Amino acid sequence: MKKQNKIHENSKHEQLETFRSYDQNQRMTTNQGLRLAEDEHSLKIGERGPTLMEDFHFREKMTHFDHERIPERAVHARGYAAHGEFELYESMKPYTKAKFLQEPGSKVPVFTRFSTVAGNRGSAETVRDVRGFAVKFYTEEGNYDLVGNNMPIFFIQDAIKFPDLIHAVKPEPHNEMPQAASAHDTFWDFVANNQESAHMVMWHMSDRAIPRSFRMMEGFGVHTFRLINEEGKIHFVKFHWKPKLGVHSLVWDEAQKISGKDPDFHRRDLWEAIERGDYVEFELGVQMIEEKDEFMFDFDILDSTKIWPEEEVPVKIIGKMTLNRNVDNVFAETEQVAFHPGSVVPGIDFTNDPLLQGRLFSYTDTQLIRLGGPNFHELPINRPVCPFHNNQRDGYGRQTINVGQVSYHKNSMAGNTPSTSKENEGAYVHYEEKVEGRKIQARSDSFKDHFSQARLFWNSMTSPEKQHIIEAFSFEVGKVKNNDVKQQVVNMFAHVDKNLATIVADAVGVEAPDVDEVSEVKQASPALSQESTPKLAKTRKIGVLIGNGFIGEEVKRTINALLEEGVVVDIISEKLGHLRGDNELGVEVDETFLTVHPVLYDGLYIVGGEVGNQKKFENDIVNFINEAYEHYKPIGIATTGKSLFEKSNGQTGPGIVSNSETSNFDKLFIEATAVHRHWDRKLL
């Protein structure tokens, strides 16, 4: 056990250290190791003469620069990642023989990449989109990749339609617009004519598509896999990542503004959290169904447009992932990491989900073109921690220096090495599923119900969540120029909820839907609502709006209370520098009104005070209050800040906590911060 832990905890870190060593006393050399005397001037004939071709350093430096870019991912191009570890809570031995899931307390290194789907690598991060959630486990049996999204389902049922989906959602080819957005004609034309997308579109129009943070969204394996134990018994399984901070989102107006104020908002949030020691935690859960129960549900468990409702198939929490180290180089790690749902270990196998089956082909094909050849597994970020031996040779980017004259199987000249292993020696053996049937290009009738679970999702939303879905449809379909497409969309979603479709039809200027067959699903699944997830003040970001002359003891007490609760505090004022309170207690300003914006904070603490340009200072604070108030955020008001709040559009009520009106201010403000949004607030 000690040996196993050493492998998991140390070897990947040590392996990567070899490639990122840094010494401040390093001397500059060429890539061949030749020390350089000059790196600022190319070799010329005379000071104003032509550059000479014999300047090998100039040629090497420029050639490398000219070839630095690789093709970005066709999807999931905009991503960010971090290192961490996965710790197992309880043994999964009854269900799988995967070694990293056997011993409680055992740990394996992980690398996790979050991403948007539709936008290019330079697009904004708070757009309405699905988020990728891919985890690479570096286990002693090889790398295991759990490659999923922040939504548990997908738009299509068969991978053959994936190119069509992505072509439809990407910028339209005739004008290359819009970037990183689904609010345009071709996407909604695809939706209306591929109605299997109904359930996923409901998720896409929900708050799940605009997460507050990578740290505050769920992750899902999407597909149905198999777990296989030592006795060969199988369970069908779906994987879930549950964020310890709960699932929370932005509001749409806020998301749009953040795209302009800080297009790096999500990656900055992840980077800063890890740098300050607020390590990111997700618990791994599994839903499992015995093989004998495969057909007992009113949906096909292999259909990737369907969830397994948690009320019917509970999620069993089995471990925790902690992201605790930022990358050292985004290109070498985040960009070059190669995920593949086909990277599995013994005890985890595939099912006949036709979307999963297509992904098993597509991912390898993608890495070959992106990373320049078949040796992408040798890049440090992709290299397994266990030894690997086979007869594959040569190719672009080969790093291994193979020795010996034999590179084939079977052989006698090298004692038939490397040799294959038996199952009881740790070899991967595919599950022997019995399959019979004719070759056919068709889909099972069990995949034909497209609206029941879309209705289940709608039923499970709270009133504010439903209103946000209506507004999202109204915005997205309102951006469509083709009236026929708009009419098709509202007619389609009338099958989910006629009132929803009727409101949207009115908003986008088409006829109310004339649809008789509306889903009669009455059930709800509370697990689908974000409101049922944890609400914590920890790591929330509060902006303190302050000037000189504040009440020192009051402000000190509140800021300390916030910090003790794990809240992140930024001091914001007219300009950078030092501010002093009434008792000479001082604070250092972190940001100015020019460098930040209220949409970048989860709440505000209004202190006020005196500065050089008092009128502008007070106007800036009032503008911050108005914006935060309209986005339903908590606002704490110090004694000296009351008059400023009274000048704003804000009204006393939910999420508004005033120090002059309660003796329990700090506690109540922290509780209001944990709530995240105060939806019952009255807006003007």
Q: Which residues are catalytic?
A: 76, 149
**Which structure tokens are listed for 554?**
């009051």
Radius of gyration of the chain (CA): 28
User: Across the strands, what pairs with 112?
Assistant: 82, 135
The DSSP secondary-structure symbol of 485 reads H
CA 662/CA 680 separation, integer angstroms = 21
8 A C-beta contact, residue 535 and residue 676: yes
Q: Are 266 and 225 in contact (CB under 8 A)?
A: no
DSSP strands (E only) in 33-152: 79-88, 107-116, 131-139, 142-149
536/393 Cα distance (integer angstroms):
52
- The answer to whether 667 and 657 have CB atoms below 8 angstroms apart is no
Place of tokens 């501010």: 579
Instruction: Kindly report the backbone phi and psi dihedral angles of residue 610, in degrees, each rounded to the nearest multiple of 5, phi listed first.
Output: -125, 140
88 by DSSP, 3-state: which?
strand
Amino acid sitting at position 244? K
Cα separation of 323 and 326, whole Å?
8
Q: Are 203 and 153 in contact (CB under 8 A)?
A: yes
CA dist 510 and 477 (Å) reads 11
Q: Which residues, at least 6 apart from 309, have a Cβ–Cβ distance to it below 8 Å?
A: 456, 523, 525, 527
In contact, 373 and 71? CB cutoff 8 Å: no
Quote the CA–CA distance of 684 and 61 in Å, as a whole number: 60
Q: What residues form DSSP beta bridges with 149?
A: 132, 220
Measured distance CA(190)–CA(222) in Å, rounded: 21
Q: Which residues in 339-360 are b (16+ Cβ under 10 Å) and which e?
A: bbbebbbbbbbbbebbbbbbbe
Q: Which residues contact 677 (CB under 8 A, 6 or more apart)?
A: 251, 464, 631, 632, 633
Chain Cα centroid distance, residue 148: 9
Nearest of 110, 108, 107, 106 to residue 82 by alpha carbon: 110
Instruction: Quickly count: other Cβ atoms within 10 Å of residue 470's Cβ.
Output: 17
377: amino acid identity, one letter: H
Rounded to 5°, the CA angle 594-632-642 comes to 65
Q: Which residue has tokens 């066709």? A: 74
